[in-house]
Amino acid sequence: MLILAFAWACTPVYQSSTNSNSNPKTLRFQDYAYENQIKTIQLYPKGRARLHPAVTRLGEWNLRLEFDDLRDHHENYYARVVHCNYDWTKSDLVDLDFISEYNEFPINNFEYSIDTQIPYVHYWFDLPAVKLPGNYVLMLYRDSDKNDMILSRRFMVYDSRVAFTNEDNLVGPGSVAAINQQLNFTVNYKNLNVVNPMQDIRVVIRQNQRWDNLSNDVRPSFIREMEKLLEYRFFEDSKMFKGGNEFRFFDLRSIQYPGRNVQSVNRLTKPPEAFIATDKSRENDAYAQYDDFNGGFFIENLDYRDISFTNYLQVNFSLASSPVDGDVYVTGGFNQWNLSPSNQMTYDSIRRVYTSRVLLKQGWYDYQYVVKSSSVPYYYLEGSHFQTENEYEIFVYFRPFQPRADLLVGYLRFAENAR
């Protein structure tokens, strides 16, 4: 009986992990886990909050990757860096163009979880320095087999060769202003040898470190070649960002004493099962101000001092709503904003609620409900307000004559409606 109880208490999660003809893995130039056992992926600058974006300045190298593997044994993992263009297609550069070392790095740092109901191995890896600014994808794979990938993660390295002027919003009253946030700014490129700014310079804007609503290849409204200025002023609804809403959140830093918005925790199941308080649609609600982490998450364990004791839980989400014309997902930084079967919700017509179950590590999580539909907007269940506090990043790329690849020559991060 004791042996059976012990085996039940420490249950590894077994999944198929082999790369084969029937189960091929193809590199995706995005944040992605290729195996279900790979969880809680974080890439951040060391010395800063882990909610900070995976962006660093050339010469200030400090990026670290952390992740968990829900197996009870250590694997031999390796890392490789891939240079990409502004649109996250692979560039034509060879490894020696952007990295000084042989482009294969063993993942040597790891530790086993202690007394957790799902055993796992926690890995961390300090990324190698690169020589060129730009977009990069870090890919990890097993046993030097580059086709047997386990995860890919995007990061950016910038060089400050352009200057920004960020201007106040110019949106007037009306329905467009009620749900949108307008960004107006100028880019000064006098330090670049640009022949055709419309062709050689690309601008990308990101909101809250999200990849699902990225504004790619933003074109300038005006070009002042004498002053070497690009002006970006957006007056059309299609060129503005939806303000969205403040993120929903829950506090699962403690299993013994669960925090805000956690309805209950069943500690008798293996692993424990958490039930988030039932949400409702905010489509027609007025804007309500409160602090959040703009969709991010952080891992913390208040039950033990040692992070190695941190458990995974099955987290149950529920959303009271009438049926929506489209697919509904619960999403956030915890799943890299991907819309996949693992976070898609199912509708219970008897209870009239959408439900979903996601395996998550103890911590604090922001989340939202996103709709994938041809008839309703993605923010249908959350609403959108110009007052919402959001974080924005502006990336400026330049393609010189040599090397023939997009280099990240400017980066600006700021908060809209900062509080």
Can you give the pLDDT at residue 170? Answer: 43
The DSSP line for 123-179 is EEEEPPP-SS-EEEEEEEEETTEEEEEEEEEEEEEE---SEEEEE-----SSHHHHH
Please tell me whether residues 237 and 296 are part of one structural domain. Answer: no
Report CA 409 to chain centroid distance, whole Å: 22
Single pTM value for the model: 0.90
Please tell me whether residues 170 and 136 are part of one structural domain. Answer: no
Number of domains making up the chain: 3
Distance CA(156)–CA(53), nearest Å, equals 9
**CA terminus-to-terminus distance, the chain:** 57
Distance CA(243)–CA(125), nearest Å, equals 35
Distance CA(414)–CA(419), nearest Å, equals 12
Q: Which of 124, 142, 158 is the last residue of a domain?
A: 158
Can you give the pLDDT at residue 18? Answer: 54
Please tell me whether residues 335 and 300 are part of one structural domain. Answer: yes
Q: Write out the residue range of the structural domain in which residue 54 sits.
A: 2-11+24-158
Distance CA(390)–CA(293), nearest Å, equals 9
Does 109 fall in a domain? yes
Lookup: tokens for 349: 């017509």
Does 176 fall in a domain? yes
The DSSP line for 284-310 is TPPP------TT-EEE--SS-SSGGGP
Q: Which of 126, 158, 190 is the last residue of a domain?
A: 158
Please tell me whether residues 261 and 115 are part of one structural domain. Answer: no
With DSSP H G I counted as helix, E B as strand and the rest as coil, what are the percentages for the chain, rounded to 5?
10, 40, 50
Please tell me whether residues 175 and 139 are part of one structural domain. Answer: no
The residue behind tokens 């109880």 is: 5
Cβ contact 407:213 at 8 Å: no
Output the CA–CA distances (angstroms, integers) from residue 159 to 172, 191, 385, in the order listed. 35, 12, 34
Does 204 fall in a domain? yes
Please tell me whether residues 59 and 153 are part of one structural domain. Answer: yes
Does 124 fall in a domain? yes
**pLDDT tens profile 321-375:** 999 999 999 999 999 999 999 999 999 999 999 999 999 999 999 999 999 999 9
Can you give the pLDDT at residue 53? Answer: 94
Cβ contact 384:179 at 8 Å: yes
Please tell me whether residues 223 and 321 are part of one structural domain. Answer: no
CATH of residue 306: 2.60.40
| pLDDT by 10-residue block (mean), the chain, 419 residues | 40 48 80 96 87 92 95 95 96 95 96 96 96 97 94 97 78 61 92 92 95 88 93 77 95 96 96 97 92 94 91 97 96 93 95 97 97 94 94 96 94 89
Cβ contact 411:393 at 8 Å: yes
